[in-house]
Amino acid sequence: MQQPHTAANPITHLNTAECLPRYEQAQSLVQGIMTRRVVLNDGVFPHWISDTSCFWYQRETIEGKTFCLVNAQTKSNTVAFDHQALATALALSSGQSVSADDLAIKITELLLADAALSVTEVHFSAFEKHWVFNTQDLQCNAIELPAAKEQGTVSPDGAYIAYVKDHNLWVRDTATQAERALTTDGTAEYHYAAAPSSASAQLLWSPDSKQVLTHQLDLRNITERAMVEHVPQGDSVQTQLHTSKMPYPGDKHIETYRLLVIDVANGKQQTINDNIRVWKFGSGYFTDEKLSFWNANSKDIYYVDVVRGSKAVRLHTFNTQSLTSTLLIEDTADTYVKLAHNDSMPELKFLPDTNELIWFSERSGWAHLYLYDLTTGQLKNTITQGEWLVRHILRLDIEQRELILHTGGRQADVNPHYRDVCSVNIDSSEITDIAVGNYEHVVFGAGNGRQAGARGGLGIDSPGAEGISPNGQYIVTTRSRVDTAPVSVLLNKQGEELLTLETADTHGLPENWVWPQPVKTLGADGQTDIYGVVYYPPGYDKNQSYPVLDFSNGQASFTMVPQGSFINGPCVDFPYLYAAAFAALGFVVVVLEGRGMPNRNKAFHDDSHGFMAGACNLEDRVTGIQQLAKLDPAMDLDRVGIVGADGFSSPVYGVLEHPDFYKVGVAIAFEDARLKSPALTECFEGYNEEGKQVATTSHRFADQIADQLEGKLLLIHGLTDMFAPQSGTLRLVTAIQAANKEVDLMVMPQVGHDIPAYALRRTWDYVVTHLRGETPPKHFELTTGFDLL
């Protein structure tokens, strides 16, 4: 048995040959992230066919894939079409080799016969062409797609297309093709219909097509940041200087919008509000956040204004005839107000026919929904209430006045982080369970938080892939826990299980795989339940001694603690398999939440306010690991390390604030909140209204406590990272050097905000060397399917 590392029993480096198989196993796990090499069918992505009760999805097989057709009414799941016939026809028409077991096609549409609901045509792309396969005559022909739609936003009456050109807003007459500029004074720093990181034109047509609601993005007087590209791509040896507009937290000038309405006939402008703060980094006010909308009368505009620091969120109405503005709804908080529970777009739903709004609020201390009359601004109904929370609105049925929701914490004796699925009547607040139980229930959908990005990365995306049928009568959900294989089922709206679609195939897991286990500990306050996961090394033996890794797992805006297995976790299967790879190297890996993170009530999340790096409370995690070690003596508390992925601050603060507990830390893209975009930090750090600095009075920054470093610390940062500026890492290194302490630094000159395979391999080497006492395989060439972020 390997002895623990203590002063009396120093680490001795073992034979590299003992380490190589573990590296190879860890590599096989990270290669499975978003590539489907480890687990097949751990989620189902339904593509509903027109207005039928049928959908197709892609079933993964060891050889490749099979396209399946599900009829919810008949509860059938069959092969959608003759794969061999399509392969033969496509090979003949294209002159290419085509495998029936792994069709190299991307389906765009399936056409069904009206009566039998069987597939008559398969429309798809392959070999850089578009094709249609007829299932009756077995012919496959290349087709010309309709001309791409003109760029821009079409007016409701179809008479105009609004678009952006040269920083201004233009319209084109669809009949005459005549173009006309609605604005002429736009500049690169004061841009009409632009958002900081959204390519979509930001505007809304009035229902009568006579007015355009838009904004001007104001970047004037914004701090200009510089980034030096020391090793440019290509043959040039000359360093290049890149600049971008990005304010610092506390700056007087930040990105704002001037909200305005334009009369299309004469171009006359009317300013509605000239100081709308950019609420969310990387999204658009109209296209993503959807924070403004027209009344059906084409006179009243409703818009949301989030004050700087997010201590107040307001809904206003503006009348374009009287030019008067009225405050309708306001939520305030001593910390910050949210418009969505987690890291997603606002949970606001406009009901235009009745002029009502479903409003998201934590005013009760829990995330719930409220129905407002927009004519009067009065609250009509509290839609949901209780000591549980709405996680996400999956569907709004205006006609039936019903919502389908992801909720959390409604079930006693069930992990409150597990999502269930239910429907709720908007008027009566009556709730009907659809998918409940001691599992995480995932409904994939375009608006469903971070899982929306899974489809494209897995190569199984197509327009309209949704977990809920167009008529709202059927739901596809995947249930799992970290210790179970996912099962995807088809349900009706009443919660009746109609069909098991897929049970995940885990053939790619190591033979000596040990399923991770969900755990519950008690927070450092002695009263708060803390939930998490423990990963074990393959072939785990409780009679041995294992070093422990605390896997840094989230920020104030989102959590990386898996609740479901594989793709059914946050950020798809990245955190699940990433942590499992560390376990494969011979560590017990502990992934714990902590006070200050989302997915619980407001008080739980507010715990980290004023100290963004304090999200996922370190004291809760130290206490939790100690509790777990009392139950499992194989966990060696003399060898505890902490690792992070993508900017998490915990590894740095762990080794600085808890030097007696964490002996080793590795931080990739360490984030200093003082250097981030205000849109990302000020609501969590607090905002000093005098504009001097972020109001951080409850803690010291890492460079201010650098003299507390005792253990081993490796900092890794890409030198072209603008999301997490490298100056935060360099500032910390400077402070550590000034304190005459030792730190290891690895910079990657051509890397931005991601985790290349090389950085991950060096992380593995560091913890294996300093916690396991082994010599890593020399120059192990780690390969992954893609950069991990």
> DSSP labels for 502-535?
EE-B-TTS-TT----EEEEEE-TTSS-EEEEEEE
Q: What is the pLDDT of residues 144-180, one digit of tens each?
A: 877 666 678 999 999 999 999 999 999 999 999 999 9
Edge-first strand listing for the sheet containing 368-373: 349-351, 356-361, 368-373, 378-382
| Weakest-pLDDT range from 350-359, 551-560, 569-578 | 551-560
Q: What is the dihedral of CA 505, 510, 513, 516, to 10 degrees?
A: -70
Confirm if 581 and 32 have CB atoms less than 8 A apart: no
Considering the chain, tell me which residue range(s) the CATH 2.140.10.30 domain(s) occupy: 152-219+255-337
What pLDDT is recorded for position 235?
82
Token pair of 172 as six digits: 């084109």
Q: Which amino acid is at 42?
A: D
What pLDDT is recorded for position 448?
54
- Residue 477 pLDDT grade (very low, low, confident, very high; cuts 50, 70, 90): very high
Mean pLDDT of the 768-789 span: 82
Expressed in angstroms, the distance from the first to the final Cα of the chain is 37
Q: What is the pLDDT of residues 208-230, one digit of tens each?
A: 999 999 999 999 999 988 888 88
Is the full-model pTM beyond 0.75? yes
User: Cα separation of 536 and 584, whole Å?
Assistant: 8
User: Cα separation of 194 and 220, whole Å?
Assistant: 14
User: Cα separation of 704 and 695, whole Å?
Assistant: 16
Q: Where are the beta strands (DSSP E) in 664-772?
A: 664-668, 712-718, 744-748
3-state SS, residue 629:
helix
Confirm if 265 and 221 have CB atoms less than 8 A apart: no
Mean pLDDT of the 395-406 span: 94
Q: What is the pLDDT of residues 401-447, one digit of tens each?
A: 999 999 999 999 999 999 999 999 999 999 999 999 999 999 987 55
**Residue 126 parent element (H or E):** strand 119-126
User: Cα separation of 546 and 486, whole Å?
Assistant: 29
CA atoms within 13 A on the CB side of 365: 5
Contact partners, residue 59, CB within 8 Å, separation at least 6: 41, 65, 66, 67, 68, 502
What pLDDT is recorded for position 574?
83
If phi over 0 gives left and psi between -120 and 50 gives alpha, with beta otherwise, what is residue 616? left
Confirm if 571 and 450 have CB atoms less than 8 A apart: yes
Q: What is the pLDDT of residues 599-616, one digit of tens each?
A: 899 999 999 888 878 788
User: Cα separation of 153 and 151, whole Å?
Assistant: 7
Q: What average pLDDT does the chain have?
A: 88
Whether the pLDDT of residue 396 is over 80: the answer is yes
152-219+255-337: CATH topology is: Methanol Dehydrogenase; Chain A (2.140.10)
Considering the chain, tell me which residue range(s) the CATH 3.40.50.1820 domain(s) occupy: 518-687+702-772
Q: What is the pLDDT of residues 503-546, one digit of tens each?
A: 999 998 988 899 999 999 999 999 999 999 999 999 899 999 99
Q: What is the dihedral of CA 568, 570, 572, 578, to 10 degrees?
A: -110
Q: Which amino acid is at 180?
A: R
**Residue 554 parent element (H or E):** strand 554-555
Contact partners, residue 187, CB within 8 Å, separation at least 6: 167
Cα 660 off chain centre by: 34
- Going by C-alpha positions, the residue among 659, 669, 672 that lies closest to residue 700 is 672
3-state SS, residue 620:
helix
3-state SS, residue 341:
coil
Q: What are phi and psi of 69, to 5 degrees?
A: -115, 125
User: Cα separation of 121 and 111, whole Å?
Assistant: 5
- Residue 629 pLDDT grade (very low, low, confident, very high; cuts 50, 70, 90): very high
- Going by C-alpha positions, the residue among 74, 177, 67 that lies closest to residue 122 is 67
Token pair of 336 as six digits: 């910050």
- Residue 457 pLDDT grade (very low, low, confident, very high; cuts 50, 70, 90): low
What pLDDT is recorded for position 615?
80
What pLDDT is recorded for position 265?
93
What pLDDT is recorded for position 11?
40
Q: Which amino acid is at 158?
A: G
Contact partners, residue 225, CB within 8 Å, separation at least 6: 243, 244, 245, 246, 722, 725
Neighbours of 37 (CB within 10 A): 14
Confirm if 87 and 122 have CB atoms less than 8 A apart: no
Confirm if 226 and 240 have CB atoms less than 8 A apart: no
Q: What are phi and psi of 332, to 5 degrees?
A: -130, 160
Question: 3-state DSSP: the chain helix, strand, coil percent, rounded to 5?
Answer: 15, 35, 50
Question: How many contiguous H segments (helices) and E segments (strands) does the chain have?
Answer: 10, 45
- Going by C-alpha positions, the residue among 187, 40, 20 that lies closest to residue 509 is 40
- CATH number for the domain whose boundaries are 518-687+702-772: 3.40.50.1820
User: Cα separation of 567 and 368, whole Å?
Assistant: 27
Confirm if 432 and 423 have CB atoms less than 8 A apart: yes
Whether the pLDDT of residue 587 is over 50: the answer is yes
Edge-first strand listing for the sheet containing 325-332: 292-294, 300-306, 312-319, 325-332
Confirm if 39 and 503 have CB atoms less than 8 A apart: no
